[in-house]
Amino acid sequence: MNSYKGRCICDPIFEDFKWIGLAIALDDDLPKKPGVYVLRLALSRDENLIALRKRILEAYGIARDILKKANWRRLTKNWSPRIERINRIDPLTCPTIYIDGAGKGKGTIRSRFTDLAGLRHTIFPCILALRLAGLNIDFGYKTVNTGQEAFKIEQELIKQYIKIHGKPPALNERIKINNS
């Protein structure tokens, strides 16, 4: 289950997470509990990061092409700002691309995983484009007992991530940090 091979200075903040390949996991592989989850590019130790960056740019092009071919103004209005986030992914800096919580009104680890497949997740177009470009993504998670606990851990992880990298993960658009 642990496919992530670690290669960033922020790795220690995710050390107690369970990891599974996004593309091979099924809903039943994940718990119906609140928690926090993280998406990371799945990198091997000998990954060519320059070539990987080119594939990320290819993913952005694929997403733009989908919008162009669809020729659907409402879809373009909805997806355009979201797929712009792909351009912020920089594997030379960090493979972590998203951090979020599940619980406190946002379902469970399992339901948020299901939402990533296009049901109701804001980063679906980005994840689809990355997968169409052949990128592998790991889904890491940590379960907790309550949604409130998940929210607190999510906030702390994002604070730690920003402290290390100076900005939130690439696909996190709206970061609201409680300073309490």
Domain contains 127: yes
pLDDT in tens, 124-145: 999 999 999 999 999 999 999 9
pLDDT in tens, 19-30: 999 999 999 999
pLDDT score at 3: 47
- The domain containing residue 56 runs over which residues? 11-165
Phi, psi of 25 (to 5 degrees): -75, 150
